[in-house]
Amino acid sequence: TECDFFDEWSGDWFFPGEREAHAITNKSLGTLGICIEIRENEFFLVYDEALSCYKCIKIYDRHPNVLQFQEGTCKQALNEDWDPCDDITEDIPLQTSVKMTGEDISCPFNDSYTFSYDEDGLFCELPLSRLDQCMVPSKVLFKFTQCSNDLSSGKEESLLIYQVVNQKRGDPVFTLTCKGFWHSNSGSSTNYIIGTLNGPYTTPSLLDQIRCFTYHPYKGDRRQVRSYFDDGDPEEISPVNYEQEDEIHGFKVMQSRDSTCMDLMEGQVGVQKSMVLTPAPKVPNLMRDPDEDPCIFPYWASSLGEVYNLQYTYKYEFTDDGRKIWASNYSYHTQTSHLLSVMECHTIIEEDEEIIKLISKVTAECVSSFKCLKLYRRSDHIVELQEGVSSKFETDACSLLNFEDEKMSFRTLIRDEAPISPCIADGFHNVTELNWGRMTNPCGRVHGFKEVNVKCKGLEVIEFIQECEGIFKDSVHHCLGGWESEIPFKKLPQNQPALDNRLTFSTFNSIPYYNEYSDSSEEEEIPENVTYGFMIARPAKDPETSTFQPHRVCFIYFFYNQSYSWTVDTSGCLRNIRPGSEGKYRFNSTKLESCDGYSTLLLSNNLILITWLSISILLFFHEF
């Protein structure tokens, strides 16, 4: 008869005694054998190819990622007098397999805890060890502190060895990634969890990484903990209903010595660690009134959902409750992301309609710190973010040492679905200087252009025009949003200063700039203020393929009177370069006319041309 293992089991699994994962398919049960016969959906007769024999396996499906099984005697031949499944008795130990390709699960310890622990008979109570949350709910961090000599169990020889080893290693830190859980069949409140435990001395072998834990919630106080370790009486710490979270005071946890769960199922003897977790004291937020509402990001930011940098290499995702930002590496082509950190709104420092400055609690992997953030609303679909330097203490996060507004870089973020919108600059521009990559010739065959029209072909259109030797070419970008501000001319980023004492002119800038090396006696006009602007745009769709490039660009510019200086950057709206003078793609232009005026000018010229042609024709016929 047809014999297939269940489809939901398919994947790569850890099997006891194996260093690497092995595949379960519809025919093969990893290293255990090939399916021959299924009985009652729990007994499986298999053929072990490695040993060339038949055996029966009873499988308990504990969790989508966990199978437990009992293995019978393996014999080289089947006969009527021997039923392999009769060999499966209650005294055969349960073995545990873990699906490594299955999704991680949320760990049951959803808070920060302090704990004391017993390791190999050595009771370590003070200083307390700690369990902290990581940036994803499937991981937690165990920080085991070294035992104090005064508060040990009194086993001086064991303590001495322990301290000598750990003084060299430091306090052990381990990360638990939870893979699966199941409840005890005995009716007790004990639960099992299995996962990978990684620390500074963990090898890549799954034998070193896979560990099993028992846990059950308790109510009681720390005075009862020591008695629990001394005599192991579970009644010393009262079990509670796990579903009634308001009753839970902590967890009683035991960790297996190896990659099996056998020692835990056979009782406390032989386990590597026993721990009693109690909720860690909450650190008061000294920067915020406890009666204030929870700290959340402003709606104009959180309502954007997912935003990306211009190159689509980073993704920032606001959670639905507006309290956190998930920051990830991102690939547009594979549509995949890798979480880097979680930034949680902690304390608002200052806020107005379009700017907010706050302290965030940042968790990267399993390490938490505080960081100052500043968010700017630039349009309905664009925000900019400034991030400060990480600090251990919240009170230092927004200090000048860790966050200085004028020196912090900006990250420009935009929604993927941002619609095209009217450009904020405008006009018909004649290009006076060009440096486009390595192209400086406006009539260059690939990237040259002589004219730039903004909002002339359409309110959302930037058009680059090349008309040389009778050949017309153009390329189009569509605006997605932008902003302008008036700033003092002296606040523009300065180029590398000249070493002589004179007024310095940028090679690619039609406006002189002043710096500390300039001679103020020069008669060149220095404008007091200039308009400094940024426009986000994307290339128009390719008419042949009806597709467009995913990346966006930022047009960084400033102007005074009709003289414009531009730099186009693909990474973001940079503040540390001087538009038109620095950057890989830059040009300078003179605005000849606004689009409305240019259209009127064209219409007037056309009318003059038509009138002249009409008069010429009348004169021609009059002569005849």
User: Per-residue pLDDT tens for 435-472?
Assistant: 998 888 888 777 789 999 999 999 999 999 998 877 78
Q: What's the pLDDT at 293?
A: 77
Name the pLDDT band for 159 (thresholds 50, 70, 90). very low
Across the range 363-389, mean pLDDT stands at 96
pLDDT exceeds 80 at position 585: yes
Across the range 413-418, mean pLDDT stands at 94
Q: What's the pLDDT at 238?
A: 44
CA distances from 185 to 182, 190, 209 (A): 9, 9, 26
Q: Compute the radius of gyration of the chain from its Cα atoms.
A: 35
Q: Which of 41-45, 240-244, 416-420, 476-480 has the lowest mean pLDDT?
A: 240-244
Q: What's the pLDDT at 409?
A: 93
Q: What's the pLDDT at 75?
A: 87
Across the range 588-614, mean pLDDT stands at 62
Q: What's the pLDDT at 447?
A: 77
Q: How far apart are CA 216 and CA 241, in angstroms?
A: 9
DSSP character string of 177-246: EEEEEEE-TTSSS-EEEEEEEE-TT--SSHHHHEEEEEEEEEE--THHHHHHHHH--GGGSEE--TT-GG
Q: Look at strands 238-239 and 191-198 and give their pairing.
A: unpaired
pLDDT exceeds 90 at position 559: yes
Q: Which of 462, 461, 559, 577 is nearest to 567 (CA)?
A: 577
Across the range 316-337, mean pLDDT stands at 95
- Mapped onto helix, strand or coil, the DSSP state of residue 174 is strand
Q: How far apart are CA 359 and CA 372, in angstroms?
A: 5
Q: Which two tokens stand for residue 312?
A: 């689509």
Residue 80 or 362, more confident: 362
Q: What's the pLDDT at 514?
A: 43
Q: What's the pLDDT at 448?
A: 85
Beta bridge partners of 450: none
Is the distance from CB of 437 to CB of 447 less than 8 angstroms? yes
Q: How far apart are CA 247 and CA 288, in angstroms?
A: 29
Across the range 617-622, mean pLDDT stands at 47
CATH placement of domain 299-414: 2.40.128
Q: How far apart are CA 134 and CA 174, in angstroms?
A: 12
Q: Which of 111-125, 273-287, 421-435, 444-458 has the lowest mean pLDDT?
A: 273-287
User: Per-residue pLDDT tens for 489-531?
Assistant: 999 988 754 333 323 333 333 444 444 434 444 445 788 999 9
pLDDT exceeds 90 at position 590: yes
- pTM, two decimals, is 0.78
Listed as own residue / partner, the contacts of 385-389 with beta carbons closer than 8 Å and 24 or more positions apart are 385/316, 385/410, 385/411, 385/413, 386/410, 386/411, 387/411
User: Per-residue pLDDT tens for 214-247?
Assistant: 988 877 655 555 555 454 444 444 444 444 444 4
pLDDT exceeds 50 at position 21: yes
Is the distance from CB of 132 to CB of 144 less than 8 angstroms? no
pLDDT exceeds 80 at position 554: yes
Residue with tokens 């017993």: 118
- Mapped onto helix, strand or coil, the DSSP state of residue 491 is helix
Q: What's the pLDDT at 221?
A: 57
CA distances from 337 to 332, 358, 570 (A): 9, 26, 20
